[in-house]
Chains A and B, each alone.
Chain A
Amino acid sequence: MTSVIRTENLSKNYGWLKAVDGVSLTVEKGEIYGFVGVNGAGKSTTIRLLLGMLTPDKGAAYLFGKKVSPDKKDLWKKVGYVVEGASAYPDLTVDENLQVVCSLRQISDKKAIDRIIAKLKLDPYRRKKAGKLSTGNLQRLGLAKALIHKQELLILDEPTNGLDPVGIVEIRNFLMELAEKGITIFISSHILSEISKMAKRIGIIHEGRLIQELDKVQLEKLRKRRLLVNSRRPAEAKRILVQSGLRVLENEEGNLEVEDESATGNPEKIAVKLVESGSPPTLLKVEEEDLESYFLRLIGISGGDTE
């Protein structure tokens, strides 16, 4: 089956700067693909290359098996997008902004505007000028513009920027619903916890290069686990753990940290050992590294437990 998105050695330079450097990735139908990277890593440039807004210096991008080009008008019928934050015509109302999209996308369904307005809870603002909307509602309008037609692919660059926590959850659930219906979603964000909650696969881009692609199972395996231990007699507890051949560190909170798999995989055995030696644990918790820490560790930025 043809991949919905495929890039082959996609590259784009701005003068001496390699904004995107040999990125090759594929996204399959119905998949939510999280595209993660720091500011300036090449996320938006990749997205603009996927949308035919930029011409690659090397390589190519394909959507639904067709090489991306601004002239492939039929291709854009199937694609909804938000690039680098939402925008709208400030002098037009929410309704009128959506009418503009409906006209240009040749949407004949008269109820399309009502439906998307209801879905994104924009009803109280539909007669309000876009220039007077809050950042969060402008973001909702941007998403409404991307989602109003019967798209098969959504390319979303930072779609939850400016949304409050309730809005973030609503949009997340909505996007997951769409993916279940077979719509492919390519989503970039710097809110990594958000990406990890919905993406089936994650691509990490750094300094223009796709440094890792992994699915949820792989991420689980690669994430660091540590056992946090404390006791009323911490020095004694530490001695016992070290005696058992474990490598024990003391963190800033005064808790003992053990990363050995024998301990993180069997915390109950550690508990028994501590109880038997007269230092019963007051804290025993397996902590998993989140995507953010993993990401920071991967790109070698402090705060991510660089080794």
Chain B
Amino acid sequence: MKKLRTAIRVESLKAVRSKIFPITIGFFSFITAILGLMMLILKDPELARNTGLVGAKAQLIGEADWSSYFTFLALALAIGGLVGYGFIATWLFGREFSDDTAKDLLALPVSRSIIILAKFIVMFFWTILLFLIVVGVGLIAGNIVAIEGWSRPLFYKFFKQLAVSSIMAMASSTPVAFFASYSRGYLLPMGYVVFTVAFSQIAVVLGHGAYIPWAIPALYSGAAGVEQAHLGALSFLIVFITAIIGILITVLWWRYADHS
């Protein structure tokens, strides 16, 4: 346990000191603020047209209330999370190869499995931080825009939805770590992320989204409507199994692959 704590501390230092860390925070804050701006446009389309925020002929659909805003945020975390968290996993594991530091992790008194586990834990906390930033910036933007329809029970309901969407997006991103390790770089894992996003869109259209791990977070967030947001236990199990498989194959790869 002490070794795991040490490895987490080391991985946290490496993550926090990186350029990617503030970039992800900035990116998620920006997306959330843009969604807040959309609420402003929805709330007062005339003002938006007059100030040039949207084109004169633009048609905007949706209600400018907290419920819609939270749904947008949940969607951003589910789909944006799949890409953003995939990017984090790609960087956490791929950087060891692009910086040529992987070899320094292979013959240490701390086992490779502990180091890999620490990387996944840091990834988890990183995504939790991004989720909290989305919620925090969302609340600030919503209050600035003065969106209507706020209620505490509504916030609690959506907070849970946002959290679950985010965690599921993170959980379904764990295989990215394997692809980053296996390919010793960034290209294959990012290709995998693009594939999962595209594949999950097709799966949702065909009505099989509830069985595809990368589509499940978006479905849960309400992206495909309220009916599809009610997922069975099997969908949660599929995401859980995907997460476990992702972690397991990454740990096994680091332990048994030839590091040449």
Hey, which bits of chain A sit against chain B, CB under 8 A?
14, 45, 48, 51-55, 70-71, 73-74, 76-77, 79, 81, 83-85, 87-92, 96, 99-101, 103-106, 145
Contacts and interface: CB of A to CB of B under 8 A. Distances in A.
A87 B96 CA distance: 10
B3 to A, nearest CB: 8
Contact of B260 (A14, A85, A96): A14
Contacts, number: 83
Contacts of B110: 73, 104, 106
Give the size range of B's interface with the partner. Answer: 20 to 34
Interface stretch (B5-13, B127-135, B144-152, B228-236): B5-13
Interface of B: 3, 6-7, 9-10, 13-14, 17-19, 99-101, 103-112, 115, 255-256, 258-260
Contact of B258 (A55, A76, A87, A89): A55
A92 B103 contact: no
A53 B109 contact: no
B107 A145 contact: no
A43 B203 CA distance: 50
A103 B101 contact: no
19 contacts: A48-B259, A53-B103, A76-B108, A76-B109, A87-B103, A88-B99, A88-B101, A89-B14, A89-B99, A91-B17, A91-B18, A91-B19, A99-B13, A100-B13, A100-B14, A101-B104, A103-B10, A104-B7, A104-B10
A45 to B, nearest CB: 7
B259 A87 contact: no
Nearest to A68: B107
Contact of B104 (A55, A70, A145): A145
A220 B99 CA distance: 42
Contacts of A53: 103, 106-107, 258-260
B109 A105 contact: yes
A94 B73 CA distance: 41
B212 to A, nearest CB: 35
